[in-house]
Amino acid sequence: MGKCKWRGYRGLGLSCMGSCHVDEFTLTQNTNHKSGNEEQSCMSGTQSFCCLNFSPPISKEQVVDKAKDEAADLALEVAASLALEIAAKAFCRIAISAVLMPLSFIPFVGTYFLVHFKPLSLLSVSALPFSFLYTNPLS
C-alpha cells in the first residue's frame, strides 16, 4: 500500500492547506479526520491523505481480464499438446505399418510379424478418444 498520512492540518481553529509532496499521491481529501483520540477539523480548506509509494489494489475488471488471459493461454497450451500427441500417434501408426508391410511378402516371417506386431499398430491409436476415425492399413 505504501506509507500514508494526513497533511494540511495546521492547528485548532486554523484553516487547512491540504497538499501532498511532489513524490506523494493524493488518495482523498476531507475537512476533518480523527487521529488516535484527537479529531482534527479544519475551519476552512481541506486536508489531504497522502501516500508515498502507493499502489492501488487490483480491480475486479483486472481480475477478470487476468483470468481470461490465463484461460486462453491454458487452452492454447492444451490444444498444442493434444495436436502433438495426435500427430505422434499417427506417425507411429504409419511407421509401424511401413516397417511391417515389406515383411508381409516373406511367407513365414511376414505371418509371424503380422500376428505378433499387429497389436502395436492398433495400440498406437487405440488410446485416442476418436480412434474410430483411423483405419488400420494392416486389417
Residue 69 has pLDDT above 90, yes or no: yes
pLDDT of residue 29: 87
Q: In which element (H, E) is residue 35 found?
A: strand 32-35
Average pLDDT, the chain: 77
Dump pLDDT digits (tens) for 4-58: 888 888 887 788 888 888 888 888 888 887 777 777 888 888 899 888 887 777 8
